[in-house]
């Protein structure tokens, strides 16, 4: 079974631009979660989508948004990019038919904001 895939793997943007990242979950997985990983803050939860609905949200500003499609693929968008948004953005999928399902991570998208 193919793992979680994320595109693009690397991205360079400038301040003020917006960016869209894509995640394809493992086949059959209905939950997709997004995380931001930085050296200073570690892994921080952004949001979780399940059956096209945002089910949980972390403490990030409204510039960070996401959505999930009927095939469970998910996108996250960051508008008005700031230098501090430079990070590795990880997507994780799970069956999520009950709390505590194991999340499987993709390789991440490395975003650099100049």
Partner 1 sequence: GESVGLHLPTLSVQEGDNSIINCAYSNSASDYFIWYKQESGKGPQFIIDIRSNMDKRQGQRVTVLLNKTVKHLSLQIAATQPGDSAVYFCAEIGYKVIFGPGTSLSVIP
Binding site for partner 1 (CB under 8 A): 4, 33, 35-36, 41-45, 56, 58-60, 90, 92, 99-100, 102-108
Taking the least distance from each CB to partner 1, the nearer of 70 and 99 is 99
Measured CA to CA in angstroms, residue 68 lies from 12, 17, 34, 40, 113 at distances of 24, 22, 11, 29, 25
Taking the least distance from each CB to partner 1, the nearer of 9 and 15 is 9
Q: What's the min distance (Å) between Cβ of 61 and partner 1?
A: 12
Measured CA to CA in angstroms, residue 21 lies from 1, 97, 100, 101 at distances of 22, 25, 25, 24
Taking the least distance from each CB to partner 1, the nearer of 70 and 98 is 98
Q: What's the min distance (Å) between Cβ of 34 and partner 1?
A: 11
């Amino acid at each position: 079974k193919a793992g979680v895939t994320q595109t693009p793997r690397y991205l360079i943007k400038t301040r003020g631009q917006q960016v869209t990242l894509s995640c394809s979950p493992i086949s059959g997985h209905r939950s997709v979660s997004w995380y931001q990983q930085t050296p200073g803050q570690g892994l921080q939860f952004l949001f979780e989508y399940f059956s096209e609905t945002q089910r949980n949200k972390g403490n990030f500003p409204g510039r960070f948004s996401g959505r999930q499609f009927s095939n469970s693929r998910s996108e996250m968008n960051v508008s008005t990019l700031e230098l501090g948004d430079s990070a590795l953005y990880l997507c994780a999928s799970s069956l999520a038919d009950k709390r505590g399902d194991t999340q499987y991570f993709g390789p991440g998208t490395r975003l650099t904001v100049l």
